[in-house]
Structure 1
Amino acid sequence: MNDKAGAPEDVLIVHGGAPLEGEVTVRGAKNLVSKAMVAALLGTTPSTLKSVPKIRDVEVVTGLLRVHGVEVDLDGDTLHMDPTRVELAGTEEINVHAGSSRIPILFCGPLLHRLGKAFIPDLGGCNIGGRPIDFHIEALRHFGAQVDKSAEGMHLSAPERLKGIQYELDYPSVGATEQILLTAVLAEGTTELRNAAIEPEIMDLIAILQQMGAIIQVHTNRVIEIVGVDELHGYSHRAIPDRIEAASWASAALATRGDVFVKGAKQADMMTFLNVYRSIGGEFTIDDTPDTGGIRFWHPGGELKPVALETDVHPGLMTDWQQPIVVALTQANGLSIMHETVYESRFGYTRELRQMGANIELYSQCLGGTPCRWGRRNFQHSAVIAGPTKLYGADVQIPDLRAGFSHLIAALAAEGTSRIYGVDRFITRGYEDFEAKLSGLGANVERP
């Protein structure tokens, strides 16, 4: 069913044209918090996670933990999790709470260690390109898990203790790295993972696991070595701030010619983005005051400058930064290039931007500095953005989480009124209180 017809209340009306000005706060990173919650399953004592955002992904994992017997209590932005009575959940319960989330795949290692069994329902997620779970299943089989497929999903079992493995990823996938970390820490023997992801969220997850009693070494050349231990205990940890949300507000400030202080944003995790931001013509200053610090982002006036960029795994330009940056580049004077090397189908959102007046052309060739794995495969993974172009309000259907916030940025920068469909389905998955934050920055938004 068409979302516009099926959920008329899931829409935000945006009256554009006003610069965003003021302060917003970012809490723990969506891409870390949900994984840290799963890690609590590995402990024999309670865990505490601080700076937890009120987003749908947290609600999903909370539901999944509870059906597996974990006591979960949220006190402000602090989450308390007690896994001492872990139990096997029914497939129906897992399906109800999982929805379209891909998180259940990461429950497998911890549940196999704690209970000897796990279940994976059919998985969903944002439609931005292939994110197969094959390597998750392959890795779990290497550890010694048995996998039985059924119409409802996959049932996994571990007749005996899982054993450490030597494993090399074809691509430094964040999800696959998380899977191996969460499984290897209690496996018998040593696991060596080559070509691992080393994103800040991965490093924060490793810090949590180390605090729980794990032995993990991060070597050069993307090699992670995990020595399995017999038991892990709980942790108390403050999640790193969400660098994706911080970059989204920064891009919104640039696109609307505004001035936004992002409280909680950290320079160390955003070095590459900050370089790009300054290259385009945006300005920022760092406030490293404990508890109250952050980064101020603003448009200094004058023309924005075109750039040639390509996404990559960390420490390259994060793929989740690509979409908000492209919106800002529609206001730069000249031709900009964005070469997407992480996901093959991440430019679907540009159709709506063109509908709003943006001049964006897509190409299947690698227009970045180096050929990537999507070259010669007919994926439109490069974009040329010509600017500056005036944006106009339009009715927009959100295709995925990050594209949704980018459409929102475009609507804020546009002349006239836009109706953004799918905000509850997508944007609330990763952005806490985004409507209140928009209003606090002076945006003119309303529900029908």
Structure 2
Amino acid sequence: MSGLLTVEGGVPLNGEITVRGAKNFVSKAMVASLLGEAASELANVPVIRDVDVVADLLRLHGVNVEHDRAAGVLRLDPSNVESAHVADIDAYAGSSRIPILFCGPLLHRLGEAFIPDLGGCRIGDRPIDYHLDILRQFGAVVEKKVQGIHIHAPNGLQGTKIELPYPSVGATEQTLLTAVRARGLTELRNAATEPEIMDLIAVLQKMGAIISVDTDRTIRIEGVEHLGGYRHTSLADRIEAGSWASAALATRGNVFVRGATQPEMTTFLNTFRKVGGAFDVQDDGIRFWHPGGDLHSIVLETDVHPGFMTDWQQPLVVALTQAKGLSIVHETVYENRFGFTDALRGMGATIQIYRECLGGLQCRFGQRNFNHSAVISGPTPLQAADIEVPDLRGGFSHLIAALAADGTSRVRGIDIINRGYESFMDKLEALGARVTLAQ
């Protein structure tokens, strides 16, 4: 999908859409299938670009991948795993950050791995140093070359003790995918415990792994020699659910998000209610709507789970431009996540960005010249504009702003949104949005 999206704003979103499996889990569960000696089956899989990229990378390594897109089911058979050609892998350079997570499984299966230049959204540094350091601690040898990074394990991988300086989701995933078949015990301290991490642990346990999680963010993994396949249904995408909820609030609409679940969204739901939004949790989803009247300004800080998720922040900021008073948002997870507000200011929003930590948390970005706090003054009517999508979550936020604005906006670069939002054009039309895509 590419081209120019024309959006006629000022129309409340009303209706029903469905969210399927979490983008931030499904791709990792696909990689986990490499560790098994039998086929795996994953259900509730969304049709998004990131899934296609990982499927292609798995095929390059000899995995037989069958994707029933209508049913949302992936079948993954790693019986014939083999080394892929560097040129083939390099074709995916810049399209995803997932290849770094192939390293542990490939080291176990083949004794070596290769990583091309990594892509992903440009929302901060997100270095792969955590990953490489972790692999070295397991006994891997890392060689940086012109085309990318070559990793091998001449003596196999050995369990180790790791303490992360920050509870990084990616570093935790790397440790899990590497430790489950390493010799001996691995202890990971200051681990991420997001719902997607816990679902990955559930998958690995189904395959035969032995993993325990303590309340102090310590994960212990007892390495095993063999793993089998798994059958698993992905948890719902709480990011997408929160995005549509924010869209309903910003446009004064009423949207039923089928598939959304309460346990993973508790923190979001509390914040949504504080802002003035209304919701109704049902057995098969959650309804979100604007109940009328003024929205309320709030003070919000993003944080690792169980805090307010950083990926919920950008869509909600659009709704906060319509709240009465001053809202303060302190971003503590990524240092460069307020770039999307430039377009909002161009549409009439009053948003000021600061280097200081505006909130109760003194985060790791304080005194480092990162613009990581925002003050939003509202309500301010948004006016239509020409918008260039900067990244996945910021792009969807710009789309929400265009839907809420007076007039007709033109949004370029919407193919980025296709990376993480399944059939978002169909969903917009199902909710009554007046949008036209020009190829």
TM tier, shorter chain? over 0.9
- Structure 2 partner of 1:428: 418
Paired residues of 1:199 and 1:314 also in contact (CA < 8 A):
yes
1:65 to 34, 58, 62: 58
Instruction: Give the CA deviation at 1:149.
Output: 1.2
CA distance in 2, matches of 1:128, 1:165: 31
- Equivalent positions of 1:226-375 (< 5 A) are 226-288=221-283, 293-375=284-366
Paired residues of 1:357 and 1:390 also in contact (CA < 8 A):
yes
Residues 1:89 and 2:84 are matched in the alignment = yes
CA distance in 1, matches of 2:242, 2:119: 25
Report the AA paired with residue 304 of structure 1: L
- Structure 1 partner of 2:18: 25
Instruction: Give the CA deviation at 1:10.
Output: 2.4
Normalised TM-score (structure 1): 0.96
Paired residues of 1:329 and 1:387 also in contact (CA < 8 A):
yes
Instruction: Give the CA deviation at 1:369.
Output: 1.2
Show CA shifts across 1:340-399 (max 9, x none): 000111000000000011110000011011211111111110000000000011011111
1:400 to 391, 407, 410: 391
2:379 to 377, 381, 388: 388
1:440 to 423, 430, 435: 430
RMSD: 0.9
**Paired residue secondary structure (1:313):** coil
In structure 1, stretches of 5+ residues that fail to align are 1-6
Instruction: Give the CA deviation at 1:98.
Output: 4.5
CA distance in 2, matches of 1:113, 1:187: 8
Paired residues of 1:25 and 1:263 also in contact (CA < 8 A):
yes
Instruction: Give the CA deviation at 1:142.
Output: 0.7
Paired residues of 1:398 and 1:422 also in contact (CA < 8 A):
yes
Normalised TM-score (structure 2): 0.98
Paired residues of 1:341 and 1:381 also in contact (CA < 8 A):
yes
Report the AA paired with residue 352 of structure 1: A
Paired residues of 1:63 and 1:97 also in contact (CA < 8 A):
no
Report the AA paired with residue 314 of structure 1: H
CA distance in 1, matches of 2:434, 2:383: 15
Show CA shifts across 1:82-136 (max 9, x none): 0000000011111113543110000000000000010011112111111000110
CA distance in 2, matches of 1:372, 1:86: 43
Paired residues of 2:90 and 2:147 also in contact (CA < 8 A):
no
- Structure 1 partner of 2:27: 34
- Structure 1 partner of 2:136: 141
CA distance in 2, matches of 1:117, 1:160: 11
Show CA shifts across 1:40-75 (max 9, x none): 000000000000000000000000000000000011
Instruction: Give the CA deviation at 1:447.
Output: 1.3
CA distance in 2, matches of 1:110, 1:157: 12
Paired residues of 1:69 and 1:85 also in contact (CA < 8 A):
yes
Q: Structure 1 segments of 4 or more deviating over 2 A?
A: 97-100
Instruction: Give the CA deviation at 1:11.
Output: 2.1
Show CA shifts across 1:262-292 (max 9, x none): 000000000000000000000000112xxxx
How many residues end up aligned between the 2 structures?
Answer: 436
Paired residues of 2:62 and 2:78 also in contact (CA < 8 A):
yes
Identity %: 66
Show CA shifts across 1:166-186 (max 9, x none): 000000000000000000000
In structure 2, stretches of 5+ residues that fail to align are none
CA distance in 2, matches of 1:375, 1:154: 32
Show CA shifts across 1:4-39 (max 9, x none): xxx9x5221111110000000000000000000000
Worse overlay, 87-96 or 102-111: 87-96
